[in-house]
A and B are shown apart, each in its own frame.
Chain A
Amino acid sequence: MAESVLDFPSLKLVPKTDAPQSAKDFKTDQEVRWCPGCGDYAILAAVQSFLPELGLARENIVFVSGIGCSSRFPYYMNTYGMHSIHGRAPAIATGLATSRQDLSVWVVTGDGDALSIGGNHLIHALRRNVNLKILLFNNRIYGLTKGQYSPTSELGKITKSTPLGSLDYPFNPVSLALGAEATFVARTIDSDRKHLTQVLRAAAEHEGTALVEIYQNCNIFNDGAWDPLKDSERRDDFTIRLEHGKPIVFGANGGKGVARMPNGTVQVVDVASVGLNNLLVHDAHADDPGVAFALSRLSDPVRLNNTAIGVFREVRRASYDTLMSEQIDSEIAKKGAGDLAALLAGNDTWAID
């Protein structure tokens, strides 16, 4: 399309294209090498077909990844891209995004890459609010190293490295991001193309770091990890779809809801007994991340009941790159551009004639 219908504050400095774009333009000639049936295919297709909506010059889009199955993503995107080293993609992307505001920078990472070896970079990118869109493919397993438990695997999980069961209590990536001062936190599912696309759109629009956790199926090493949220019999009962400004209702017949308790916590309730007016209205723009955090913790990490998806938090805060550029601009405005000869001379010199 010639021009985006959306206003993307985070992309205001990124050149647009007049040429029509389609998903095909974002495909490369490289053979995709994920296992047949991998959830990554669905995410790749969703990203390729969503990007034309932004109407950005393709050469101004960059995908940066770490190491892991998901991190092969950049090879399949006909944009600029870097497949880097384990865990460091947010740091590399930070250097790129903070020095080039004319780029739309995306990070593709997995649960091991982002939350284990790269945990430090992830939380610091989030608190700084660098203009990055981080897609965290969470399949609760290490795939590329062939099946060890990950930081999101459930307690007691039997894997190659934990024959007697994992002793590690898992991270909840959304809770973690909210605790790390993130300004945009969302969760979606690989198999729900429509929801995935909506969330990607919101992320792209966001000024600053957007963390999108994508529940993704590894059909080889952890098949069915998210089945309760996917199969048609259970998914409506298990999934809470958050929509900003709307009361939180879910369940097969809309019979269940989420309400705020007098002690400040949130709880799943029967709509019939509490009344629609007493349900919690989702406010993604709330300054305080407390309620979003409570919503992220309604689900049980093993059973996955009451799993909230959608945009948990979306608040405005100037991005790090903007602030960094402003500092430079204001110094130059105040004192003029640097004068090398004056710098080298300093103010304490002597001359030998």
Chain B
Amino acid sequence: MTKEIVQLDRVIIRFAGDSGDGMQLTGDRFTSSTAAFGNDLSTLPDFPAEIRAPAGTVLGVSSFQLHFADHQITTPGDAPNVLVAMNPAAMKVNLKDLPRGADLIVDSDEFTKRNLTRVGYEVNPLDDGSLNSYKVHAIQLTSLTVEALKGMDVSKKEAERAKNMFALGLLSWLYHRPTDGTVTFLKEKFGRKPEILKANLAAFEAGWSYGETTEDFSVQYEVAPAEMKTGTYRNISGNIALSYGLIAAGQQAQLPLYLGSYPITPASDILHELSKHKRFGVRTFQAEDEIAGVSAAIGASYGGAIGLTTTSGPGVALKSEAIGLAVALELPLVVVNVQRGGPSTGLPTKTEQSDLLQAMFGRNGEAPVPIIAPNSPADCFDAAIEAVRIALKYRTPVFLLSDGSLANGSEPWKIPPVADLPDLRVEFATKLNHVAADGTEEYWPYLRDPETLARPWAIPGTPGLEHRIGGIEKADGPGHISYDSDNHDRMVRLRQAKIDGIAKDIPPLAVDDPDGDARILVLGWGSTYGPTGAAVQRMRRTGAKIAHAHLRYLNPFPANTGEVLKRYDKVVLPEMNLGQLSMLLRAKFLVDIIGFNQVRGLPFKATEIVEFLEDVMKNG
């Protein structure tokens, strides 16, 4: 049967189900097909911290949202056009985000009295008219799947588990997605279990055919490929991009990578990824705790490797003392904090930007540490390389502040040619560098480069340069223990000046202001880049004059930051915290900042920022 084909410029789909329903996998597969088709896209996985919360309850609902378009997009989208709900709990949790007129696809088999009662529905919402404002497609996903697999050598339970593939097949048909990728993926995943493979392929095909034959769906949609810059692309998540950035940095520095880490959500995937790449000489050490992870990284850096540690906020709290040691030792170290909701255990699987002040100040003493924040999943690659560059060049720990939404979100990435990556090679000290009063040559581990203020890096195994370093204050130059008060004052200022001086070595803050006459600046950092940028674009379409800037370097700030901020009547700063960057900017530049703050564990929606900006423009 031939169906009407409707062209759309963009679509937002949300898959939602029990944590055990395979929604993340379904979303990932749909994303890969969409990427292969050539749409621009952005994703937002959202799942509970529990691995398997009680089935059918609102606690266990896991979802995956995908925004894809025939043009450039920067966010996973505000409100879904289509919600696929595998049970009443998934529908109930997600319905509040669904705008009127949206498509709602549910597995009606799961709308049993028991399941409905469990989530507080007294009457079946599929029957009582309460969903009338949506285009409801109540489909017996489970029984259709089981029916399609009849006669196969799989148990009823195994057959039922394939219903996510049925749903994927149906959605793939509905949006004209290519199927080869999913077929290849299933063959790889279930290659050793031929019966399960057969069942999943059959369910996928059954879902596709169902869309084609049922009258429930009268139209099929098409979203044309997006215009993108020429190049080779792949889809990539923030954690993978960050891992690749670290590996690339190791190659470009021609130094081994050493990751000391302890598993923690949402950072563990970086440990998993790096542990796969031993061929690049990457050493990964799963330590006994967070402290040992960073300590081992410091030990490796002392030996001439690029020491890395990956964690989230609670882990940073534990590592603080060791990071302070690295500040005193002046050794390279990259600390990756994939931020999550806090305080304490907080919201392990949700996103937040509330560790900025922890990165900035969370150590005893004056212990400045450079901070870099990537602004999109793909940007994690470049940010990781930049973090390593600064760590190596200035012999300092560097914070790389990612967050949960960047880590798990994904987007197309234009793969950079290796030849375009920066050269990160540094020189180890090999020679004596000072002549004592009596004429003897000696090695001073704290004799600084006059330009960068970095100290020399002499690694064990270098003859003649044997020296001792430690956490006790050192004499400026020779590096021996020194309790001298003038020396301490000088060393504290030198360490600060070294970090402040990095401002000369980073690009200035760029402002996007097409007409050059905006009076309002919207400033962002980290993962708010997407929704902030989208909000600014929307405002401009209605004639509003708004400038947009995004801080990638949080310490030190780019040299022109104060000048940029002072140029505007109003500076609006959306942050997923209660105003941490606002506080830093106010303190440093004596400018007022209008903060727009949310800590809901979810990224901003562009609409929310638009509404806030409209209010600021109207009411001041």
Contacts and interface: CB of A to CB of B under 8 A. Distances in A.
Interface in B276-299: 277-281, 283, 285, 287-289, 291-292, 295-299
A352 B303 CA distance: 44
A98 B299 CA distance: 9
A26 B256 CA distance: 30
A324 B307 CA distance: 16
A57 B462 CA distance: 10
Contacts of A5: none
Interface string A328-353: 10011001111011011110111111
4 nearest CB pairs, A to B: A95-B299, A83-B470, A95-B296, A338-B280
Nearest to A325: B283
A350 B283 contact: no
A95 B297 contact: yes
A91 interface: yes
A352 B233 contact: yes
Nearest to B251: A340
Given A99-B305, A338-B280, A349 B234 contact: yes
Given A58-B463, A59-B462, A350-B38, 6 more contacts: A82-B468, A91-B299, A120-B289, A345-B232, A348-B234, A349-B234
10 contacts: A74-B470, A82-B468, A96-B300, A340-B418, A341-B418, A345-B234, A348-B235, A352-B230, A352-B232, A353-B230
A30 interface: yes
Interface in A85-101: 85-86, 88, 91-100
A327 interface: yes
Given A85-B471, A348-B32, A96 B299 contact: yes
Contact of A95 (B235, B258, B280, B460): B258
Contacts of B291: 88, 91, 121
A79 interface: yes
Contact of B296 (A94, A332, A341): A94
B232 A350 contact: yes
Interface stretch (B84-92, B321-329, B492-500): B321-329
Contacts of B235: 348
B607 to A, nearest CB: 30
B418 A344 contact: yes
Contact of B465 (A59, A97, A327, A348): A59
Contacts of A91: 260, 287-288, 291-292, 295-296, 299
A62 B470 contact: no
A227 interface: no
A60 interface: yes
A120 B465 CA distance: 33
A340 B248 contact: yes
A338 B299 contact: no
Chain B facing A: main interface SS: mixed
Interface string A42-83: 000000000000000111111010010000001101111111
Contact of A30 (B230, B472, B480): B480
B295 A82 contact: no
Contacts of B258: 95, 98-99
Given A340-B418, A348-B36, A83 B472 contact: yes
A57 B481 CA distance: 25
Nearest to B465: A59
A71 B229 CA distance: 58
Which of A78, A80, A94 has the most C-beta atoms of chain B within 10 angstroms of its own C-beta? Answer: A80
Contacts of B229: 352
A85 B321 contact: yes
A3 interface: no
A102 interface: yes
B244 interface: yes
Interface string B223-265: 0000011111111000000001001100100001010100000
Interface residues of A, number: 60
Interface in A183-223: none
B283 A83 contact: no
Contacts of A346: 234
A344 B228 CA distance: 19
A28 interface: yes
Contacts of B248: 340, 344
B233 A332 contact: no
A344 B300 contact: no
A91 B324 CA distance: 16
Interface in B294-321: 295-305, 307, 321
Nearest to A104: B460
B463 A57 contact: yes
B466 A58 contact: yes
B288 A120 contact: yes
A178 interface: no
B288 A99 contact: no
B416 interface: yes
A80 B288 contact: no
Contacts of A230: none
Given A92-B295, A335-B279, A351 B460 contact: no
B181 interface: yes
A103 interface: yes
A88 B470 contact: no
B279 A331 contact: yes
A84 interface: yes
B429 interface: no
Contacts of B466: 58-59, 78-80
Contacts of A341: 417-418
A338 B277 contact: yes
B470 A84 contact: yes
B578 interface: no
B231 A80 contact: no
A94 B295 CA distance: 9
Interface in B505-519: none
A234 to B, nearest CB: 39
B461 interface: yes
B216 to A, nearest CB: 32
B151 interface: no
A127 B300 CA distance: 20
A95 B295 contact: yes
A124 B301 CA distance: 21
B450 interface: no
Given A91-B287, A352-B38, A59 B299 contact: no
A274 B313 CA distance: 63
Interface in B323-344: 324-325, 329
B468 A350 contact: no
Contacts of B468: 28, 74-75, 77, 80-83
B415 interface: yes
Interface string A104-126: 00000000000000001100100
B397 to A, nearest CB: 14
Interface string B441-474: 0000000000000000000111111111111100
B35 interface: yes
B470 A100 contact: no
A79 B256 CA distance: 23
Contacts of A80: 460, 466-468
Contacts of B288: 91, 120-121, 124
A255 B325 CA distance: 54
Contact of A99 (B244, B277, B300, B467): B300
A99 B247 contact: no
A99 B244 CA distance: 21
Given A59-B462, A84-B325, A338-B281, A96 B302 contact: yes
Nearest to B472: A83
Given A80-B467, A352-B38, A120 B292 contact: yes
A331 B278 contact: yes
A98 B295 contact: no
A82 B277 contact: no
Contacts of A120: 288-289, 292
Interface in B48-99: none
A103 B461 contact: yes
